Amino acid sequence: MQFVVDEEIPFAKEAFSHLGSVTLLPGRTMTRETLRDADALIVRSVTRVDAALLAGTNVQFVGTATTGIEHIDREYLAARNIGFAAAFGCNANAVAEYVLTALLATTRAKNLVLNGKTLGIIGAGRIGGLVAAKAPALGLRTLLHDPPLARVTGDRRYRALSEILQADFVTLHVPLTLDGPDATFHMIGADELAHMAPSSILINTARGEVVDNAALLEALTEGTIAGAVMDVWEREPAIDWDLLNHVTLGTPHIAGYSSDGKIKATMMVYHACCRFWGIEPAWTPARDLPTTLAPGTVPHVTFDATGKDFQTLAHEIITTLYDLTADHTRMQDLLAAPEPLRPRAFDQLRRDYPHRREFACAPISIKGGNQNLFARLQTLGIHANEP
């Protein structure tokens, strides 16, 4: 069998070569011609998979090493009996950790206290559910909005969008859908932004088109809301560079880019391929792990909790584990380049993204801690012990 695989998928060669020959290609350059003799196609979100790409090819299976599937025409695949698999949930924890880090970094920059504030979560699925589970450890009260779940469960905890928009922070975790009663394209537009409090901060790690970027720029420019954290943008990689210049934190679609999540995605799609063809899986990533991912290579870090409130300590720990402001700085540096060169530089940031481990991978000791503190850190996904 012949596999065409996005070259940015970690361990693609090592994994899929167990099933056949592997050709690695940049995701944005894949064409019908390059897939002419392929039996399987493994992509990321930058490749649109539809009739324009697949018609006339021999592709029998499509996998995407992503949790979002808006780039896949599933109706076309189903109509032609082409197998399909996605890595649902592979990066959910990484995105949730990004949101926690963004909350702490933003409040530090704006000198705000999280305890007692409200966090509106739009979309309470895999990622939104994790954010909702972790956020109370920071003293946040969560409000949930998820119309599909509300209809299925009848649970009254799901609130109206108008109530969610009044929260101190609003974070988006919905798929991109263009039609139907729950369409999410531009679900946050000028009207919704106008209903947010002037002190509110919007966080988007879902899809760029969920937010009307032009309306957001106007809201930020006019002070309708206090700030925005944007990891996803309309028209990536040719984004609105003026908007980048106005957000509180901006990153190049990397919220879910933990090394742990990426490897999990490869594993999930590889196993789906094996099931599709009835082949016993023969590859595991353990032997191929780089030293930065090998067990025991994350340095042990000790913190002192003496005299610190929880938000201060959590900020110190989490920003040590993940330097989100460095991602923001690298993104801001794109503005120094001539505008025609920026889209390629945006993709380059994603391609060269440094290894980032999830919180649970770091061995941490804390002086002056107590049982309550350790329990709150555990809720955030941080495993800490006394020295």
What is the rounded distance in angstroms from the CA atom of residue 67 to the CA atom of residue 57? 25
Q: Which of 192, 209, 236, 358 is catalytic?
A: 236
Tokens of 324: 């989100």
Place of tokens 């938000």: 311
Is the torsion defined by CA of 123, 125, 128, 129 positive or negative?
Answer: positive
Q: Which of 44, 145, 207, 315 is catalytic?
A: 207
What is the rounded distance in angstroms from the CA atom of residue 225 to the CA atom of residue 110? 13
Concerning whether 71 is annotated as a catalytic residue, the answer is no
Q: Which of 145, 253, 315, 357 is catalytic?
A: 253
Q: Are 308 and 101 in contact (CB under 8 A)?
A: no
Tokens of 360: 């649970």
What is the rounded distance in angstroms from the CA atom of residue 291 to the CA atom of residue 274? 28
From the DSSP assignment, how many helices (H) and strands (E) are in the chain? 15, 14
Coil, strand, or helix at residue 143?
strand
Q: How far apart are the first and last CA of the chain?
A: 53
What is the rounded distance in angstroms from the CA atom of residue 277 to the CA atom of residue 273? 6
Concerning whether 235 is annotated as a catalytic residue, the answer is no
Q: What phi, psi does 143 have (nearest 5°)?
A: -125, 135
Q: Are 248 and 270 in contact (CB under 8 A)?
A: no
Tokens of 175: 């798929």
Instruction: Supply the DSSP string of 49-108, one letter for each residue.
Output: BSHHHHTTS---EEEESSS--TTB-HHHHHHTT-EEEE-TTTTHHHHHHHHHHHHHHHHH
Tokens of 60: 């029998």
Concerning whether 207 is annotated as a catalytic residue, the answer is yes
Catalytic residues: 207, 236, 253
